[in-house]
Homo-oligomer: A and B are copies of this chain.
Amino acid sequence: MARLVLKFGGTSVADLDRIRNVAQHVKREVDAGHEVAVVVSAMSGKTNELVAWARDASPMHDAREYDSIVASGEQVTAGLLAICLQAIGVEARSWLGWQIPIKTDNAHGSARIKDIDGTELIKRFAKGQVAVIAGFQGIAEDNRITTLGRGGSDTTAVAIAAAVKADRCDIYTDVDGVYTTDPRIQPKAQRLEKISFEEMLEMASLGAKVLQVRSVEMAMVHGVKTFVRSSFDDPKSIDSSPGATPVGTLICNEEDIVEKEVVTGIAYARDESQISLRRVPDKPGISAAIFGPLAEANVNVDMIVQSVSEDGSRTDMTFTLPDGDLARALEVLDAEREAIGFELIQHDKGLVKVSVIGIGMRSHAGVASTAFAALASKGINIRAITTSEIKFSVLINSEYTELAVRTLHSVYGLDKVSA
- A interface residues, Cβ below 8 angstroms from B: 16, 19, 50, 53-54, 56-58, 60-62, 64-66, 68-69, 71-73, 75-76, 78-80, 82-84, 86-87, 93-94, 96, 98-99, 143-145
Contacts and interface: CB of A to CB of B under 8 A. Distances in A.
A82 B62 contact: yes
Contacts of A56: 16
A83 B55 CA distance: 9
A75 B76 contact: no
Complex copy number for this chain: 2
Contact of A65 (B60, B83, B98, B99): B83
26 contacts: A16-B56, A54-B79, A54-B80, A54-B83, A57-B83, A58-B86, A60-B87, A61-B83, A62-B82, A62-B83, A62-B93, A64-B93, A65-B82, A65-B86, A65-B94, A66-B83, A68-B79, A68-B96, A69-B76, A69-B80, A72-B72, A72-B73, A72-B75, A72-B76, A98-B98, A99-B144
A80 B54 CA distance: 6
A75 B69 contact: yes
A76 B58 CA distance: 14
Given A65-B82, A65-B93, A79-B65, A57 B87 contact: yes
Contacts of A69: 75-76, 79-80
Contacts of A84: 57-58
A182 to B, nearest CB: 36
A68 B60 contact: no
A147 B54 CA distance: 24
A378 B219 CA distance: 82
Contacts of A80: 53-54, 57, 65, 69
